[in-house]
Amino acid sequence: MEQGLVHIYCGDGKGKTTCAFGLALRCAGTGARVRIAQFLKSGDSGEVTAMQQFDNVELLRAKQGSKFTFQMNAAEKAQAARDHTQLLRQAFADTKHLRMLVLDEIMAACTTGMVDTDELVSLIQARPPELEVVLTGRNPPQALLDLADYITEMKKIRHPYDKGITARRGIER
């Protein structure tokens, strides 16, 4: 088996999750086992629905919440952090059979204090050598940038949201 590398898809532009899911689709299409863990996201999206069609793709999601982290009180933040830390540990549990692990929106989980960056770094460093790890989100911590073999930044030039157009099913969600 080939050496697993670390990918980061970051930036303020559209397409980080879509890019990661595309890579997961490519991997799953070869028959390899893929696990995707989504942090800080709720609701359905076309990508999630499509990935659920594959027997060799496991999808883990954080507990559904109705608030953004900046809207939470201290007790809600503490519970959300426990939930996301549990999700992180679940994502890295029993990975010997996996070829790829996608941690979607993990950067935001780190920057909002929902997961500990040092723990994430340790988990990545301790992974099986053939496990490919894909990280998405804005503002990656330097410790993750230092680990990455690939870093791709999506840069927003223009986005319909700036004109008040919300996310459309099948296009942005």
pLDDT digits (tens, 9 = 90+) for 88-121: 999 999 999 999 999 999 999 999 999 999 999 9
- Domain assignment present for 170: no
Average pLDDT for 25-33: 97
* Per-residue 3-state assignment (H helix, E strand, C coil) for 100-163: EEEEECHHHHHHCCCCCHHHHHHHHHCCCCCCEEEEECCCCCHHHHHHCCEEEECCCCCCHHHH
Q: What is the mean pLDDT of the chain?
A: 92
Residue 119 lies inside a defined structural domain of this protein? yes
Cα(153)–Cα(138) distance, integer angstroms: 9
Q: Is residue 171 part of a domain?
A: no
Tell me the CB-side half-sphere exposure of residue 25, using CA atoms within 13 A.
13
In a domain, 149, yes or no: yes
In this prediction the pTM is 0.92
- Overall domain count for the chain: 1
pLDDT mean over 137-164:
94
pLDDT in tens, 47-98: 889 999 999 999 999 876 667 777 888 888 888 899 999 999 999 999 999 9
CATH of the domain at 126: 3.40.50.300
Fill in the DSSP letter of residue 43: S
Instruction: Judge whether 56 lies within some domain.
Output: yes
* Residue-range definition of the domain harbouring residue 31: 6-163
